[in-house]
Amino acid sequence: MTDQTRPIVRLRPKVQARNIRHGFPWVYANELVTDRRTKALEPGVLAQLQDADRVPLGTVTVNPKSTLIARMLDPDPDAVIDQTWFEARIARAFEHRNRIYDAPFYRLIHAEADGLPGVVIDRFGNLAVIQPNAAWADRLLDPLTKALIAITGVETVIKNGTGRTRSLEGLSEDITVLQGDAPTDPIAVPMNEAVYMADVMGGQKTGLFYDQRPNHAFAATLTKGARVLDVFSHVGGFSLAALAAGAKSALAIDGSANALALAEKGAAESGYSTIFSTRKGDAFDAMAGLAAEDQKFELVICDPPAFAPSKQALDAGLRAYERVARQAAQLVAANGYLVLCSCSHAADLTQFRKSCVRGIGRAGRSAQLIHTGFAGPDHPLMPQLAESGYLKALFFRLLE
């Protein structure tokens, strides 16, 4: 596509283009000239981005309905975004995952960091789930899917078009089989010496959270002979890894009956049914109930949903993390361990750590911070984009 056929969008006169030239992938609505022509562009259309002096900066995708109005796709202003282009991006990501994992279960594409802004692809053996969280990916889903199949050889591809991010892009929600047949049963995923069950057609996100894999593994090193409490457990990520490493028992708490059923199935597949139990309910109420029973655990893990998904929710989110830390700390045995996690983009590591330390202190406990964990290497961080470093896991030892 040439300059004559691709629309042009331009930065406002006082907006510095330096960040874009240095790799920052986003342009916000207040940074772009949004005249009548730009506002009339269809969401997800490709355009050439220029600075205020009309110097080309690259190929972007534009969505006038979003505050994140433009996403950089390619520094070449005339780049052809077709199946061949997608294959190059996917092949680069595929090579990295094949180098670090010995089984085809991982996040294959992690949005901007893998050169496909707003796109997530998780692989489950011969099946892959695409989350096209930006309008441009919905428009180009066909060449993206064909490229994915050509590079990886997967036989089934599912589109998971659900979630808050799509609504911010003005997109509808749906789950569709793009290639192959929908699985009738959860998929068994081997990870950290355990077996996890992924519901790719109806579970949260793509069906499994691969990002916590290294944090599951580190927590497992603390669990030999321990009683484990896994709060906000989802499908039992921390508890099943702990049992595989020799934990005495594990109790998983979650508000989703479906997630707990998958956790129980994973425990059965792993051979831990007799030492694994679940409780369905509100996590805060469940922790209060355990405290009333004077229950103690050598390892307590809390991996809640994003309490601070936006800057507007930050203060309330930080208070919620403090409350989690306070209640959880009361359940940790003397010299036991407490793992507190956050997947909130808006709460940075320092803010999250301060909230956790306040909560532990309010519980009357003193602590050592022994480890800080992040997402695994299949979730690369784009250095120019702080938001891509969303996951934090703090490992504390609580002293007598």
**What local confidence, expressed as pLDDT, does residue 164 receive?**
78
**What local confidence, expressed as pLDDT, does residue 203 receive?**
67
**What local confidence, expressed as pLDDT, does residue 309 receive?**
87
Cα 299 to Cα 199, 223, 323, 328, distances in angstroms: 27, 7, 18, 10
- Give the strand pairing for 156-161 and 127-132: parallel
Q: Token match 């956050």: residue?
A: 342
**What local confidence, expressed as pLDDT, does residue 1 receive?**
42
- Give the strand pairing for 8-10 and 227-231: unpaired
193-213, pLDDT tens digit by residue? 999 999 999 867 788 999 999
Using CA atoms, how far apart are residues 243 and 103, in angstroms rounded to an integer?
A: 21
**What local confidence, expressed as pLDDT, does residue 400 receive?**
77
CB-based contacts of 240, cutoff 8 Å, min separation 6? 192, 194, 195, 196, 250, 263, 266, 267, 270, 272, 276
Q: What are the structural domains of the chain?
A: 8-74 (2.30.130.10), 83-179 (3.30.750.80), 196-398 (3.40.50.150)
The beta-carbon contacts of 28-32 under 8 Å, at least 24 apart in sequence, are: 28/67, 28/68, 28/69, 29/66, 29/67, 29/68, 29/69, 31/69, 32/69, 32/70
- Give the pair of three-digit tokens for residue 351: 């803010």
Extract the residue ranges of the chain whose pLDDT is less than 70. 1-4, 203
Read off the pTM.
0.94
337-376, pLDDT tens digit by residue? 999 999 998 999 999 999 999 999 999 999 999 999 999 9
Q: Is 105 exposed, middle or buried (0-12, 13-18, 19+ CB in 10 A)?
A: buried
